[in-house]
Amino acid sequence: MPVVKHGSGATSAFKTVKVSGQSDVVADAGSDDLTLAAGSNVTITTNAGTDTVTIASTGGAALDGIDDQSSSNDDQITITDTEVVINDDSDDLDFRVESDGNANMLFVDGGTDTVGIGTATPGLNLAASTGDVTGTVLHVKGTSGRGGLVVEGQTGARLDLVDITGGSDTKWMRLDVADNVTKFHSVDDNAAAFNTDNIMVMDLDTGNIGFSDESGDDKITIDGEVALKEQSSVPSGTADYAKIVAMEDGVDSDTKVLLHGDGTGGASTFTNTGSGSNWTGASGDPTTETTQKKFGTAAMYFDGNDSIEMDSGDLGDVAMGTGDFTIEFWMRLDAEPSGAIGIMSGLGTAAGGRSAIENGMYLQYYHASDERCAFRWRSKTNPSMRIDVSWNPHWRALTWYHIAVVRDGNEFIIYQNGRPQVTRDYGTDTQPGADELEEIDSQFRLGEGQNSDWFTGYIDQFRISKGVARYKKAFTPPGAAFPITRLYAVNSAGDKTLIG
């Protein structure tokens, strides 16, 4: 047994003397020290003034703390005046906190660098800050496979994301799950009233999704507008699916002629932003005028005795052959129709007792007969026949109308203000359907029709598209100068159709 001696030192309260290699224990009443001597002394100092107890190594150990000697001079718990550190030397050491009902209420696995709550085999790294994302408050990362964060509640669960920089205007983003329905809400700063209810709603039973609305009976329900960014190419077709895409409509490879009619008042330059050359005055003195225009800075004006003409080197752009095409424009008459009105024309070659215009193409309004407008184009395959599509336009003075002439396969359709006026399916008629159309040999003019009939008024945004039927059903006419962004449907074969 150790020997206890009282009052051996000047101020010693007691002292034990080691026996058979046991440590000395010395209590010094003067310095309030308790010294345990075991090769490297550990001094325990009490301070009645500060109500503290200091444990210090006074021998060979270099660090302060409690050392269980799992390896040489390692401190497993370090206590200083600024911090308490567990496993200060980064050993493969686990740390565990028990509760009255769980032996692993908090568990730190020193070997895998993971933290578990309620488990001794944690699979997640749980951190208050990480170096990869500045300002991270909580980082949860799976060490293998997929990571996950689970929030459970008896009557539902929610997750709030709050930006506290807004003061009284602070808004919360809340993910709320209750009654098998998931909702995203924008919440006011008092976290009580919804600022924007139902940003997104998903019914967990049906999988239906609603935006700004309950999920409803459909897979997607949207209460409000949807914005689609313009894409540069048509998405490929996918079997069993149709797609919706926003794309530019204006100047593309199919656009051979696009006359915006822009310019200054009284100017005589007619710029073609399509693939061909600019157009020039053919007769009279056509001009661009700023008094009336549908879009842009001006429109082309024709006074009833003038026209503009395509460059002869570009006539191949209106050699339509058997392909699809679209000719469209905006027009505004100066006065009520009282006679024939020539809008455009292209000359073929006089033959078979027919004039060059009869063997070509023209769009003409006939007032004297039955107030109808006719689009006609001679067949090259069978010259005795021609395309002949007419309708009653009911034009009024000082009113803008959008006109579109479309060939779509065997069908020829006339649209006025986006609504089909007449459709002729020549695939079932005795007239030419898939026939090649007569070529325009010598001139293509705007503002002049058959028999030197003329147009009086304004024409804007005149476009000729070769190889494409841009309109296949009723549509909304362009609301701005080309190019514009429009919405298309793409079927499973990759074909696109204008929606609006």
**pLDDT, tens digit, for every residue of 115-158?**
888 888 877 666 554 445 566 666 677 666 677 777 788 778 87
Residues in the chain, overall count: 500
pLDDT band at 86 (very low <50, low <70, confident <90, very high): confident
- Per-residue pLDDT, 216: 66
- Are residues 485 and 228 in contact, defined by beta-carbon separation less than 8 angstroms? no
Domain boundaries, the chain: 3-86, 95-142, 157-222, 255-482
Beta strands 139-142 and 124-127 are antiparallel
Decide if pLDDT at 441 tops 50: yes
Decide if pLDDT at 38 tops 70: no
pLDDT band at 225 (very low <50, low <70, confident <90, very high): confident
DSSP string of 307-357, one letter each residue: EEE--GGGGGGG--TTS-EEEEEEEEESS---S-EEEEEE----BTTB-TT
Decide if pLDDT at 361 tops 90: yes
| C-alpha distance from residue 309 to each of 74, 279, 291 (Å) | 96, 5, 23
- Per-residue pLDDT, 394: 92
Which one, of 444, 401, 460, 399, lies nearest residue 307 by Cα?
A: 444
- Work out the percent of the chain whose per-residue pLDDT is above 70: 72
pTM of this prediction?
Answer: 0.66
- The most confident of 8-17, 184-193, 218-227, 415-424, by mean pLDDT: 415-424
Decide if pLDDT at 107 tops 90: no
Cross-strand partners of 181:
178, 203
Cα separation, 321 vs 375, whole angstroms: 16
Cα separation, 428 vs 178, whole angstroms: 60
Maximum pairwise Cα distance, the chain:
146
Which one, of 380, 470, 461, 377, lies nearest residue 424 by Cα?
A: 377
CA atoms within 13 A on the CB side of 239: 0
Decide if pLDDT at 55 tops 80: no
- Per-residue pLDDT, 160: 77
Decide if pLDDT at 25 tops 60: yes
| C-alpha distance from residue 87 to each of 54, 70, 95, 96, 454 (Å) | 19, 11, 9, 12, 97
* pLDDT tens column, 162-203: 776 766 666 667 777 888 777 776 665 555 555 556 677 777
- Per-residue pLDDT, 183: 77
SS3 assignment for the chain: CCEEECCCCCCEEEEEECCCCCCEEEEECCCCEEEEECCCCEEEEEECCCCEEEEEECCCCCCCCECCCCCCCCCCEEECCCCEEECCCCCCCCEEECCCCCCCCEEEECCCCEEECCCCCCCEEEECCCCCCCCCCCEEEECCCCCCCCCCCCCCEEEEEECHHHHHHCCEEEEEEECCEEEEEEECCCCCCEEEEEEEEEECCCCCEEECCCCCCCCEEECCCCCCCEECCCCCCCCCCCEEEEEEECCCCCEEEEECCCCCCCECCECECCCCCCEEEEECCCEEECCCCCCCCCEEEEECCCEEECCHHHHHHHCCCCCCEEEEEEEEECCCCCCCEEEEEECCCCECCECCCCCCEEEEEECCCCCEEEEEEEECCCCCCEEEEEECCCCCCCCEEEEEEEEECCEEEEEECCEEEEEEECCCCCCCCCCCECCCCCCEEECECHHHCECEEEEEEEEEEECCCCCCCCCCCCCCCCCEEEEEEECCCCCEEECC
Residue 162, classified by CB atoms within 10 Å of its CB into exposed (0-12), middle (13-18) or buried (19+), is middle
Enter the tokens of residue 116: 């578990």
User: Radius of gyration of the chain from Cα atoms?
Assistant: 44
Residue 199 CB coordination number (10 Å): 16
Cα separation, 88 vs 459, whole angstroms: 85
- Work out the percent of the chain whose per-residue pLDDT is above 90: 38
Decide if pLDDT at 32 tops 60: yes
* pLDDT tens column, 246-290: 988 888 999 999 999 999 999 999 999 999 899 998 889 999 999
- Per-residue pLDDT, 377: 92
Which one, of 228, 211, 227, 229, lies nearest residue 219 by Cα?
A: 211
- Per-residue pLDDT, 64: 42
| Residues ≥6 apart with Cβ < 8 Å to 461 | 258, 259, 260, 261, 294, 295, 328, 329, 330, 478, 481, 482
Q: What are phi and psi of 295, to 5 degrees?
A: -140, 165
Mean pLDDT of the chain: 81
Decide if pLDDT at 68 tops 50: no
- Per-residue pLDDT, 215: 66
Cα separation, 84 vs 65, whole angstroms: 10
| Residues ≥6 apart with Cβ < 8 Å to 261 | 270, 288, 293, 296, 298, 299, 300, 458, 459, 460, 461, 462
Decide if pLDDT at 291 tops 50: yes
Cα separation, 154 vs 151, whole angstroms: 11
CATH of domain 255-482: 2.60.120.200
